[in-house]
Amino acid sequence: MTSAQRNVQRSLPLLLAGLSMIGPFSMDAVFPAFPLIGARFGVDSAQLQQLVSMYLITYAVMSLFHGAISDAIGRKPVIITGMVVYAIASAGAALSTSYGMLLACRALQGVCAGAGLVVGRAIVRDCYAGAEAQQLMSRVMMIFSIAPVVAPIVGAQLLFLDGWHGIFWVLMGFTLILAVALTLYLEESHPPAARVRFHPATLVRGYLQFGHDRLFWPLLISCSVNFAGLFLYIASAPRIIRDLLHLSAQGFPWLFLPVVAGLMGGAWLSGRMANRRSVSYTVNLGYGAMLLACALHLLMAVVMPEPVLPWSMLPLVLHGVGVQLAFPTLTLLLLDRFPHRRGGASAVQAFSSLLTCAFVAGVMSPLLSGRMLYLALGASLLTMVGWIAWRKYHRMTRRPVDVQKLGPTVETELQTEITEPR
């Protein structure tokens, strides 16, 4: 291996981590600026929510296309183009002279932001297999999971730079730097021989093919709700901190720090276990940790109806560990269902996860965040759905008839289960 090749391999985790931060930061970093934006354009809180909904809608829709386009023309041009256009949209947002212009720029940000996460996951599976893929995916997903937690804190600090404009200027600068780094250091991982022609009819047929794969559905469900139980607490943070814990804005670290500690610890543990434990062991351990965290939340909510620090927040550490143990492996299994359409499979997974989190933030959090018991019940329900879907997948892969019908991918999974140490 040449020195240049080693540099490219070393830079890949950093590039993918940077790409994974764009989506969460775009959505959450702007929250502290809502009062300033409302005062500047004379809009109320309901209208300000359009800054989030407009971004989420375009993000979700385009996530279905980023992967398919990268399957057709390659990973690198899709990501770089997405980052350049995102930077232009961020500059437009910072220079907006009307609320309509700001909304349009937010929509354009959503169109581009998903390119990094969706195509980045496909790059991981293009370049690595087995334990190496799990280790890299663990690092990338650690950054992606932490970003929504720290983004509001960073956004609040950026207000001192240039008011609400400063948030968008920093996002522009970051994505331009990232686009240059990608141009210099990212190698194309999807060669022309492996590409699939992009056409709307082909895209529809490809997604229908995903739907016909019986093993794809339980993996998709498990991936989609894996983070949702923990995200319910994150989305409910303002009410938890202010209404339930009766703290000021300076009290947010009481919730965010346990989440960050758990996610980082789980990502480290997942990487360490990649060479030592089987796929099933890692995911089962992750769900075991999440279910135990849910049980502790329920117990504390019953014993202490009024939350008490630090005990009421400590189960979040265990929940974060479980999320990061399970999610990287689940994602890799999902992408491996269609080795020649990993971009499309990653797009469907991102779309499903995004819609799930939008439902959690927009429906479940307002309904359940009035009491810790309700939040614990909601998080437990989401976690149980993911665990049941995972167990269904695991049972299906152990049936000989499934191996005969679905071919070498499942045979490989079964062989892994048999040969790897437990």
Question: What pLDDT does 146 receive?
Answer: 67
Q: Minimum mean pLDDT among 57-66, 86-95, 100-109, 286-295: which range? A: 57-66
What distance in Å separates the CA atoms of residue 386 and residue 51, rounded to the nearest whole number?
30
- Going along the chain from its start, the domains and CATH numbers come out as 1-198 (1.20.1250.20), 210-422 (1.20.1250.20)
Q: What's the whole-number mean pLDDT along residues 319-341?
A: 83
Q: Minimum mean pLDDT among 210-214, 295-299, 399-403: which range? A: 399-403
Confidence of residue 102 (pLDDT cuts 50, 70, 90): very high
What distance in Å separates the CA atoms of residue 358 and residue 353, rounded to the nearest whole number?
9
In 186-227, alpha helices (H): 200-212, 216-226
Question: What pLDDT does 412 receive?
Answer: 44
DSSP 32: G
**pTM, rounded to two decimals:** 0.69
- CA–CA distance from 100 to each of 19, 54, 95, 105, 164 (Å)? 27, 11, 12, 9, 16
pLDDT by residue (tens digit) across 343-397?
Answer: 677 778 878 887 888 788 778 888 888 888 999 999 999 999 999 999 999 888 8
Does residue 17 carry a pLDDT above 70? Answer: yes
Does residue 328 carry a pLDDT above 70? Answer: yes
Q: What's the half-sphere exposure (Cβ side, CA atoms, 13 Å) at 312? A: 21
Which one-letter amino acid corresponds to residue 128? Y
Question: What pLDDT does 44 receive?
Answer: 79
Around Cβ 4, how many Cβ atoms within 10 Å? 10
